[in-house]
């Protein structure tokens, strides 16, 4: 038999995720200006991290897997930020 995770952890993870979903849904109905977007993204990132850590067992995995999990996101940030360095400096944003 392999060592397995305590079921409680999975249940807690799921409850946390559902609560985060409720939070993001509710915040959308309050006008917070730019903060709406920031809150939505922050919650989405938190959900992603929670899923990766507990459902995908990144917690307790080797550093190599941590690196592999982060690499894709890092490269996506390179793609987005350098492309925006063009679009945000063109002078035709509203």
Q: Rule CB under 8 A: say whether 38 interacts with other proteins.
A: no
Classify 24 as helix, strand or coil: helix
Distance CA 43, CA 41 (A): 5
- Look-up: residue for tokens 């307790």? 60
How many CB atoms sit inside 10 A of residue 63's CB?
7
By CB under 8 A, residue 53 contacts other proteins: no
Shortest reach from residue 45's CB to other proteins, in Å: 8
Q: What distance in Å separates the CA atoms of residue 7 and residue 29, rounded to the nearest whole number?
A: 34
**Of 37, 59, 60, 63, the one binding other proteins by CB under 8 A:** 37
Instruction: Please report, as ranges, the residues that interact with other proteins according to CB under 8 A.
Output: 1-2, 4-5, 7, 10-11, 13-14, 17-18, 21, 24-25, 27-32, 36-37, 40-41, 43-44, 47-48, 51-52, 54-56, 61-62, 64-65, 68-69, 71-73, 75-76, 78-80, 82-94
């Amino acid at each position: 038999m392999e060592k397995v995770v305590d079921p409680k952890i999975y249940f807690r993870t799921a409850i946390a995720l559902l609560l985060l979903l409720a939070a993001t849904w509710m915040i959308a109905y309050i006008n917070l200006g730019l903060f709406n977007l920031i809150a939505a993204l922050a919650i989405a990132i938190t959900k992603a991290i929670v899923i990766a850590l507990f459902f995908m067992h990144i917690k307790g995995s080797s550093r190599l897997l941590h690196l592999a999990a982060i690499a894709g996101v890092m490269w996506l940030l390179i793609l987005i930020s350098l492309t925006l360095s063009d679009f945000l400096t063109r002078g035709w944003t509203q």
